[in-house]
Amino acid sequence: MPIIIKTPTEWRKTQEKLNHTIGFVPTMGNLHAGHLALVERALKENETVVVSIFVNHTQFNDPADYDNYLRTLDEDCSKLDAINAHYVFNPNKDTMYPENYEVQVSENTDSEFMEGQFRQGHFTGMLTVVLKLLNIIGADKAYFGEKDFQQLKLIQKMVNALFIPTEIIACPTMREENGLALSSRNNRLTDDEKNHASLLYKYLSDFNLSDLEVKEALEKTGFRPEYVETKWGRRLTAAWLGDVRLIDNIPIQERK
């Protein structure tokens, strides 16, 4: 099983004994194949890999969403053991926020639209915890999925702006056979809803349709889309299906 580390002090004592490359995969747990693909890539490119599992309360704009987030540490560690990950960094709230979130990291341009418009405070909480984790782990490379593309762009921007030495590695979105992007939230969909959710990828990929036409098509088929926008060479969306909020994006060059 991977060795579980609970505090920055404990990790730094461990890190002192390592004299080779460290790869880092930050997660909130409830791991799926998409997370494991990030870990497997990190294992190929680094001699030691650390996976953080911390459900970060400061990035949830809806307290109920935070409460409902599945905590599956034992199952997660078993999955990581099967692919030979080395360490799990599993801190608690007090460890990560000794100052009670009085120190925050914010961005005031690319965080103001799309996810930033509909999830007030989300990106400040996300950037704050990612900076903390990068500072604690001190990895050579950190791996993030492209599904949360606006998040990825903000992390890259923060790392460049604050001269953080960790290299940010972007990894392609992993999908179900029907095209649905893998997400921990998918566990809250029924089988019928998972099948229906494949329409999100179908319409997002249809570049014969404008962004507005994609949004209208989603509405007609039972989704409640919050936005469909093209930016950074991608078409991005967030849409509710039942009580589950799904996000996805497609590179423009993937024209059908």
The pLDDT of residue 187 is 85
Known catalytic membership, residue 196:
no
As a whole number of angstroms, the distance between CA 12 and CA 32 comes to 28
Which residues in the chain show pLDDT less than 50?
Answer: 255-256
CATH number of domain containing 98: 3.40.50.620
Q: What is the pLDDT of residues 124-182, one digit of tens each?
A: 999 999 999 999 999 999 999 999 999 999 999 999 999 999 999 999 999 999 999 99
Q: How many distinct structural domains can be found in the chain?
A: 2
Q: What is the pLDDT of residue 67?
A: 92
Same domain, 103 and 214: no
Residue 255 belongs to a domain: no
Q: Other C-beta atoms within 10 Å of 103: how many?
A: 11
* Domain C-terminal end among 148, 171, 194: 171
Query: How high is the pLDDT of residue 151?
Result: 98
Give yes or no for a contact between 250 and 234, defined as CB atoms under 8 angstroms apart. yes
Q: Which residue in the list 35, 86, 122, 196 is annotated as catalytic?
A: 35
Helix then strand then coil, in percent of the chain rounded to 5, is 40, 20, 40
Q: What is the pTM of this model?
A: 0.95
Is the distance from CB of 134 to CB of 166 less than 8 angstroms? Answer: yes
Is there a domain that residue 63 lies in? yes
Q: What pLDDT, on the 0 to 100 scale, is given for residue 137? A: 98
Q: Write down the pLDDT at residue 254.
A: 54
Domain that holds residue 86: 3-171
